[in-house]
Structure 1
């Protein structure tokens, strides 16, 4: 058991990395899948390994700083009420937040989760009206398509009614159906993070110019480590094309790990660094042993950089996938 005094505001401030980076908060009830999402998307943890994660007992913070992605992500324990003004100062927690992501377990009774979501959204909005509120209806991989749609419709309707009853219908929530076992979680985070990128309009315009001048059907600008697309051209996003590009990144990294020069390209090195950091964090916090990874770090030789990677893949249906690595 943990007392709320264990998580008082002074501890939050003491642990806080002072910076102007926007924060992304991961909130929700216990066992809703918050920590699993963070580990899979930003730590490259295999989804099946998340079964061994223990419940989060304190705020887990991580700095994400690569190219146009520059923010902090905070994973909050689900059992703590951070809006208890006797123990916490909401301004310290929510004052500089860019996005608040609330995770709902779609395979469980979510009545309590909706009550917590309403309380969280209304309280956070009073502190910082500029927060974007994102709702992940999570763990939908085991549900039928009809049930997924019905669940999302029910969640949206109940939240809309609750906000309307409180005369807060101007608070906007965006909903996503997600799972860590497919690309839906990456698609959701892509859209969430794009809202925090000031350069997004310029990037979209550049991709539009690229497509019009080269005859490309669809262009994505990916962060290769997380497989989050930072920007895309103005044509509608086709999940099939996104999944193909995402799988292509995995193939290129795997091939480069086997056949690339020692140390690999910046793309591969960033992947290795993140994987090592994830194992260290897991050892310090939740769960599995990383002794072999630590030994590998001790034996690591100086890294050598290859030129920026590129790849061309032709599919049986005649489509061509072209990947070109660029670094800012």
Structure 2
């Protein structure tokens, strides 16, 4: 799937007759509205509410994703108060206009931790129609191999397009994300050329089709990390507990191979483009 991102200034009214509204919103899958948590945000909320109400009238299937950004500069108490205030103001306005269940989600984000990547992951997952199938496959893999948590990552962006349905914590995601950086750095040194689909040779920074890694961590709870490259775009990363994976690695490799084969059936070769506009503060 190819995702296209449009970056819009937040101070413009895109429902003004001067704009071609259908051309902007007709094929959009999600609208990300960025609010600066360290600035005066009442006007941004007012414009956001106006936008949501217009979308609900003309394009009700568009997901509205609100990133309360730059929360790193706020104290823990004030961060929570600000986040709740923004949610309450938006929901009250929608409720007053009769929209109790509008598709609006809220995230606290920062560029100084992995929260922005996790938020984008959640946004992208909503645009993948095969997500329930991917979750079912990951649940089956975790159950069969006694894996505590499994992520399917887009390698270069470090956005995970799916995970099993067990609870997700930011600490596990951060470890897996950093692990990808390590693997990519090593692969850039030791990677090898392999034939491209059109017959030409291209260099794959992430190594070959069978690239894999297993490491031991000195961390309470999840003690092992397993990475397997699914294809040149995706990697499966699993967190495992105290049971030594070395003793059952052959079983894990076999079941991951089954998962890999199933994934090829889930994602056909046909390409699909999804547009994700990002509206940021002016």
* TM-score over 0.5 (shorter chain): yes
Take 2:42 and 2:30, find their aligned partners in 1: how far apart are those partners? 23
Out of 16, 31, 50, the residue aligned to residue 84 of structure 1 is 16
1:202 maps onto 2:104 in alignment: no
Superposition deviation, residue 238 in structure 1 = 1.7
1:303 maps onto 2:202 in alignment: yes
CA-based RMSD of the aligned residues comes to: 2.1
Out of 214, 218, 221, the residue aligned to residue 152 of structure 2 is 221
Superposition deviation, residue 223 in structure 1 = 0.4
1:324 maps onto 2:228 in alignment: yes
Please tell me whether the aligned partners of residues 203 and 231 of structure 1 are also in contact (alpha carbons under 8 angstroms). yes
Normalized per residue, the structure richer in strand is 2
Q: Judging changes above 3 Å, is the alpha-carbon distance between structure 1 residues 75 and 265 closer, same or farther for their aligned structure 2 residues?
A: farther
Normalized per residue, the structure richer in helix is 1
Take 2:171 and 2:9, find their aligned partners in 1: how far apart are those partners? 35
Please tell me whether the aligned partners of residues 265 and 307 of structure 1 are also in contact (alpha carbons under 8 angstroms). no
Residue 102 of structure 1 aligns to a residue whose secondary structure is: strand
Take 1:254 and 1:260, find their aligned partners in 2: how far apart are those partners? 10
Superposition deviation, residue 265 in structure 1 = 11
Work out the number of aligned pairs and report it.
Answer: 224
**What's the TM-score once normalised by structure 2's chain length?**
0.74
Residue 97 of structure 1 aligns to a residue whose secondary structure is: coil
Q: Which moved more, 1:217-226 or 1:159-168?
A: 159-168
The aligned residue for residue 215 of structure 2 is 313
Matches within 5 A, 1:225-264: 225-261=156-192
**What's the TM-score once normalised by structure 1's chain length?**
0.64
Structure 2: give runs of 5+ residues left out of the alignment.
Answer: 232-263, 265-282
Superposition deviation, residue 147 in structure 1 = 1.5
Superposition deviation, residue 82 in structure 1 = 1.3
Please tell me whether the aligned partners of residues 105 and 137 of structure 1 are also in contact (alpha carbons under 8 angstroms). yes
Residue 9 of structure 2 aligns to a residue whose secondary structure is: coil
Please tell me whether the aligned partners of residues 105 and 139 of structure 1 are also in contact (alpha carbons under 8 angstroms). yes
* Deviation per residue, 1:285-307 (Å, 9 max, x gap): xxxxxxxxxxxxxxxxx634542
Superposition deviation, residue 264 in structure 1 = 8.4
Flag the structure with more relative contact order, 1 or 2, with Cα contacts below 8 A and sequence separation at least 6. Answer: 2
